[in-house]
Structure 1
Amino acid sequence: MKAIQIPGERQMEIVNIPEQEMKPNEVLLRLKYVGFCGSDLSTWLGKNPMVKMPVIPGHEVGAVIEKVGADVPEHLKPGMVVTCNPYTNCGKCASCRNQRVNACQHNETLGVQRNGAMREFIALPWEKVIPAGNLDPRTCALIEPMSVGFHAVNRAQVTDIDAVVVIGCGMVGMGAIVRSALRGATVIAADIDDEKLALAKEMGATYAINTKTEDVHARLLELTEGFGPDVIIEAVGSAPTYQMAVNEVAFTGRVVCIGYAKTDVSFQTKFFVQKELDIRGSRNAQPQDFRAVIHYLERGTCPVDRLISADVAPEQAPKAMLQWSEAPGKVFRILVHF
């Protein structure tokens, strides 16, 4: 069967691989759409330390069940539109013991630590297959990245009395904006791109701040009665945005970090103590986050087409990846249509 493979730095090719043999507890999925994630771009650039080349990328899935194994429960049937939970969990580490399997110490994500879903078919354990209600497979490819943002909002314990800043309006940040707005919070989107900020307001942000052209500190004080935001969610992964989060959050506020900073970050650690901050990491997503995203997308209010920057055939994927690398800030999601 046809698959997309990254054999080395700045390389991508179409390969033929053997079909998987299904186990009795597995479901065979026919892939319809698979999204390229930021981690896939990092892999292609040779900057993803968790990846061993060559690798088949992809973990943002919109698929149809082709076949089910003998031990698969009856609620999963051929023809169903589904997505998947692309993470593994060992069941033995501290995270798993604490029922936070999304942060498993030994997690292997599709397309990162193991071969992913950029192929025509993939067999997965039935527990990892998530029915997608009345959604179409194209929309399903947006579920996983949005669920990461939804999970960050859970980690932040956002409520309707909070002012929440989301730094970074990519797909994950948009998920955090949507979930915060659904919880009734006042949401402030922060980014360097005015087009993304406009879309963030369409998706639930009350205010938008261009961090490149505006005085962020002054604007946040103005929008929060001089207190600063109760919650800041960092969804960029850079030293300046990490520092901004700690500097600008209110006293006794919560900072939730999704992005991986590529360099060491220096902090005024006095703010950790003086403000009595809660600084929390947020990794991947839990099953309830996937369900929450599906529930939101079923409403039909999400501007799905505006979140999909390109829809390409497998043969067009190398060119699409090159174009993304040249203008990373302008891309939400590139979907590969099998």
Structure 2
Amino acid sequence: MKTLICTTPGNFEYGLQAMPALQAGQAIIRIRKIGVCGTDLHAFEGTQPYFNYPRILGHELAGEIVALDAADSSTFRAGELVTVIPYENCGVCIACRNGKPNCCEQIAVLGVHKDGGMVEFLSVPERLLVHGNGLSAEQLALVEPLSVSAHGIRRAGVQPGEFVMVMGAGPIGLAAMELARIAGANVIATDIQDKRLQFARETLGIPFTINAATDVAGRLRGITGGDMPTVVIDATGNQKAINNGIYFLAHGGRYVLIGLQKDLLQFPHPEFHKRESTLMSSRNATREDFEQVIRYIREGKVQPEKYITHRVKFGEVKHTFPSWLDPRNEVIKAIIDI
């Protein structure tokens, strides 16, 4: 079984693994498509905070079931296309008991804390499979990142008519913009790359875009009639952007961090306090988010294929992957075909 291992920052090696044995409660899936996430890119360059080497990357997955535990009474069947909730949770900690398996104390994310899906065959707990419901493999490979964004929008409690600013027009940020728009918000996108802002406007229908190198606060006051956005969402994972985000938030607003970085979160307490701000993180996603995204795709509200800008065969990843770190290549979402 062919696999691709990130051995050290900046280096991939192809290897071989034995076909996984079928274990109780597990399913074996043949990986068909893998989405490349910012987490994968950060791990490759050595800036992912929850990461050790060597590691097999890959958590945005679409696969075909090839074997199931016969002892289980399963709703799945061999040959079915599925996606995977890649966050293995313990089921007993306080977060799991309170219905928040996405932030389990002992969470093990495929491709981050444990080996992931850049393999031909993968064994996963059947309880983490999600029915494909007629979606294509490409669509299913993008359900996970869309679900991360959906979780952030749900955490923010986005309401129709309010102004929502999303910082960062990468895949997670773009999806957050689209899902906030679907929720009825007036969405404002910021990024330092004009091409990504153009994508937000022309492909996703985001009405307001601001280059982050300009007078962002002034533009926001003009767009919101002086009120500023009642929701600010960070999807940059950039320390400077995250620390500056509080200055763009309306009084009484909610600041949601989907992006993640290694260093300190810091801003003046008076700026935070005077707004009676709500600060929250948004980690991973839940089955509810996965099912919402699949429903939106089936209803035509979201078209995941729009995000795909690059496609590559599994055997070409080692040589192609480093180029996806270069902004000049204008990667929004890359898909690996096995």
8 Å CA contact 1:177, 1:204 repeated in 2: no
Match of residue 101 from structure 2? 101
Q: Tell me how far apart the structure 1 counterparts of residues 31 and 146 of structure 2 sit (CA, whole Å).
A: 19
Counterpart secondary structure, 1:15: strand
Cα pair distance change 1:286/1:174, threshold 3 Å = same
Q: State whether structure 2 residue 7 is matched by structure 1 residue 7.
A: yes
How does the TM-score come out when normalised to structure 1?
A: 0.95
CA separation in 2, counterparts of 1:283 and 1:135?
25
Contact 2:297 2:303 in 1 (8 A): no
Structure 1 position 150, deviation (Å):
0.7
Note the residue ranges of structure 2 that are not aligned, 5 or more in a row.
Answer: none
> Size of the alignment, in residue pairs?
337
Q: Deviations over 1:225-265 (max 9, x none)?
A: 21100100000012221133211110000000011134334
Q: What one-letter code is carried by the residue in structure 1 that aligns with 2:204?
A: M
- What displacement does 1:9 show? 2.2
Counterparts of residues 144-183 of structure 1 (less than 5 Å): 144-183=144-183
What is the CA deviation profile of residues 133-176 of structure 1, one whole-angstrom value per residue up to 9, with x for unaligned ones? Answer: 12100121111111111100111011103210111111111221
What residue in structure 2 maps to residue 73 of structure 1? 73
Partners of 1:136 and 1:284 lie apart in 2 by: 23
Q: Which amino acid aligns with 1:250?
A: A
Q: Distance in 1 between matches of 2:329 and 2:192?
A: 9
8 Å CA contact retained: 1:14, 1:314: no
- Which moves more between the two structures, 139-148 or 33-42? 33-42
Give CA-to-partner distance per residue, 1:185-233, whole Å, 9 cap, x none: 1111111122211222332422111112x31111111111211001000
d(CA) in 2 for partners of 1:78 and 1:143?
A: 21
SS of the equivalent of 1:273 reads helix
Give how far 1:311 is off: 1.3
SS of the residue corresponding to residue 108 of structure 2 reads: coil
Identity among equivalent pairs (%) = 31
Q: CA deviation at 1:301?
A: 5.4
Q: Is 1:239–2:239 an aligned residue pair?
A: yes
TM-score by length of 2: 0.95
Instruction: Report if the CA contact (8 A) 1:167-1:173 is conserved.
Output: yes
Counterpart code for 2:86: P
3-state SS of 2:315 partner: helix
Q: Could you tell me which residue of structure 2 aligns to residue 131 of structure 1?
A: 131
Paired residue for 2:309? 309
Q: What are the equivalent positions in structure 2 for 1:224-235 lying under 5 Å apart? A: 224-235=224-235
Structure 1: give runs of 5+ residues left out of the alignment.
none
- Matched AA of 2:84: C
Residue 124 and residue 41 in structure 1: after superposition, are their counterparts in 2 closer, same or farther (change >3 A)?
same
In 2, the alpha carbon distance for the partners of 1:9 and 1:328 equals: 21
| TM alignment of 1:243-282, pairs within 5 A | 243-282=243-282
CA shift at 1:289, angstroms?
A: 0.7
Structure 1 residue 76, shift from structure 2 partner: 0.5
Shift of 1:299: 3.2
Q: Deviations over 1:63-111 (max 9, x none)?
A: 1111221133342111211100000111232322322110112111001
Query: Are positions 1:323 and 2:323 aligned together?
Result: yes
Structure 1 residues 207-222: aligned runs within 5 Å: 207-212=208-213, 214-222=214-222
Provide the C-alpha distance between the structure 2 equivalents of 1:211 and 1:47, rounded to a whole number of angstroms: 22
Deviates more, 1:49-58 or 1:16-25: 49-58
Hey, what's the Cα distance between the residues in 2 that align with 1:300 and 1:73?
A: 32
Question: CA–CA distance in 2 between the matches of 1:269 and 1:115?
Answer: 40
Give me the whole-angstrom Cα distance separating, in 1, the residues matched to 2:130 and 2:182. 22
Cα distance change of structure 1 residues 58 and 328 upon mapping to structure 2, 3 Å threshold: farther
Letter in 2 for 1:210: N
Q: Which stretch shows the higher mean deviation, 223-232 or 266-275?
A: 266-275
CA distance in 1, matches of 2:20, 2:2: 12
Structure 1 counterpart of 2:257, one-letter code: C
Q: Which runs of 4 or more aligned residues in structure 1 lie more than 4 Å from their structure 2 counterparts after TM superposition?
A: none
Q: Matches of 1:304 and 1:194 in 2, distance apart?
A: 21
Whole-Å separation in 1 of the counterparts to 2:182 and 2:322: 36
Please state whether the residue corresponding to 1:7 is helix, strand or coil. Answer: strand
Code of the aligned partner of 2:10: R
For the aligned residue pairs, the C-alpha RMSD in angstroms reads 1.7
> 2:138·2:305 contact (CA, 8 Å) conserved in 1?
no
